Chain A
Amino acid sequence: MAVSTLRVSVWRGTESGHLQTFEVPRLESQTVLDVVTHIQRSLDPTLSYRFACRVGMCGSCAMTVNGRARWTCRTHVSEVMRGEALEVRPLSNLPVIKDLVTDMTPFFDKWAQARGSFQGATTRRDDFARVSPETPERRLADAGIECIGCGVCYSSCDVVAWNADYLGPAALNRAWTLVNDVRDTDRRSRLAAVAGDAGCHACHTHMSCTERCPKKLSPTASIAGLKRAAMMAALKGELGDE
C-alpha cells in the first residue's frame, strides 16, 4: 500500500466550527466509517457521529466526504482519497447538531408533508391484496421502493439549498411509490401535497440525487412521474388544495 497514514480533516462544532486534522493508520479495505470510528475510539472520544448497521441497510451514516455526500459504511477510502487527504463533514442542507451529526427532522418532516405513509382501505380481517409484480404500476413502485432514507439525495440537491420549502428527492420518491400502489387510497390528496412551487414542479432535473443515491435509485424519474400525474390531475380539476 502506497500510503501508511491518512491525514483526515474532520468538522468539529455546530453550524460554526472548524476542521480538525487527525492522523489515522491506513488499512486494507478500510471504509470512511472505519476511519471515523478509529478517531472516536482511539484519538478523540468527544467526536460525535452516527451509524448503526455498518452494512448499508439503515441509512444512518451518511456524511460529506471530500465534498460529496456518501454512505460512509460502504465507501472505501481508496475510492475517495485525494493523495493522503480525506475531509469529512456533516451532510449539507440540514442543521448540524454536533460534529458529523445532523438534525434529520426537516428531512423526515417533509416525508410526512408529502404524505409518505400508506393509507389503505382494508383491515387485518380482509384477505391479502394480490398485486402482480408485472403490472406497470408495481414496476414503477418497485423501482423506487428500496430507499433507506440516508439523506444523501437531500444533501446533494441544489433546489433544497435554494428553496427551503422544497420537499426534496427522497420524500417525492416515496410519494411516487405510493401513487403507484394500487392498494393506497390517498392518491388525490398526496398529489396535491407534492405538486407546485415547493413540490415536484420545483425540480430542475439536475440529477445530483440520481447520481449520488447509494442504492442506485432515480428520484429524478420518480419526480418526473409525479409532475406528469399532478399535471393531468390539475388539468382535470382533480387537484384539490390542502
Chain B
Amino acid sequence: MSEGKLSVSSQVLLWTLQRASAAVLAVCVVVHLITMIYAVRNGLSAAEILGRTRGNFVWFAFYAVFVLAVSVHAPIGLRSVLVETFTWRGRGLDWTVFAIGIVLAFLGFRALWAVFL
C-alpha cells in the first residue's frame, strides 16, 4: 500500500457500501415521495404532520435509515467525482469526504430529532 492511499480492500468496501446504500435509497426515496405527495394532496398542516411523527418510532426508524444511507452514499460518490474531475487523491480527499458524511448525518439526525420529540 502506498503512503496516503486507502488499501485496495478498503476501496472495494467503499464501492460495496455505495452500491448497498443506493439500494436502500431507492426504496427510501420512493416511500418519502409518496409520503410527501400524500401530505400535500391531502392538505395536511405542519401541526397535523408533527402530530403523526412525534413519538412515532416507525417513522423515526425509517428516516434514521434514510439519513444513514444518504450519509454513506453521498460522500463516496463525491469522492469519485473529485478524483475524476480534479485528480485529487490521498488522505486529504478521504478525510474531506468523511467530514462531509459526518455533517450530512448530523444535519439529518438533527432534523429527524426535531420532528420526533
Contact = CB atoms under 8 A, between A and B. Distances in A.
Interface string A152-174: 00000001001110000000000
B56 interface: no
Contacts of B12: 195-196, 201, 230-231, 233-234, 239
Nearest to A162: B84
A241 interface: yes
A227 B15 contact: yes
A239 B8 CA distance: 8
Nearest to B79: A197
- Which residue of B15, B16, B80, B89 has the most chain A CB atoms within 10 A of its CB atom? B15
B96 interface: no
Contacts, number: 51
Contact of B7 (A164, A227, A231, A241): A241
Nearest to A238: B9
A195 B8 contact: yes
A240 B11 CA distance: 12
Most buried by B among A159, A197, A202: A197
B83 interface: yes
Bin the interface of chain B by size.
10 to 19
Given A196-B11, A235-B16, A241 B1 contact: yes
Contacts of B15: 196, 201, 227, 231
B10 to A, nearest CB: 8
B61 interface: no
A164 B83 CA distance: 11
Taking chain B's interface residues, is the majority helix, strand, or loop, or is none over half, making it mixed? Answer: helix
A79 interface: no
A192 B89 CA distance: 19
Contact of B11 (A159, A164, A197): A197
B13 interface: yes
A28 interface: no
A242 interface: yes
A241 B8 contact: yes
Nearest to A231: B16
B27 to A, nearest CB: 21
Contacts of A163: 83-84, 87
Interface in A204-242: 227, 230-231, 233-235, 237, 239-242
Interface of B: 1, 6-9, 11-13, 15-16, 80, 83-85, 87, 89
24 contacts: A162-B84, A196-B8, A196-B12, A196-B15, A197-B6, A197-B11, A197-B83, A197-B89, A201-B12, A202-B80, A227-B15, A231-B12, A231-B16, A234-B8, A234-B9, A234-B12, A234-B13, A235-B16, A239-B9, A239-B12, A241-B7, A241-B8, A241-B9, A242-B8
Given A192-B9, A196-B15, 19 more contacts: A159-B84, A162-B84, A163-B83, A163-B87, A195-B9, A196-B11, A197-B11, A197-B80, A201-B11, A201-B12, A230-B12, A231-B12, A231-B15, A231-B16, A233-B12, A237-B9, A239-B8, A241-B8, A242-B8
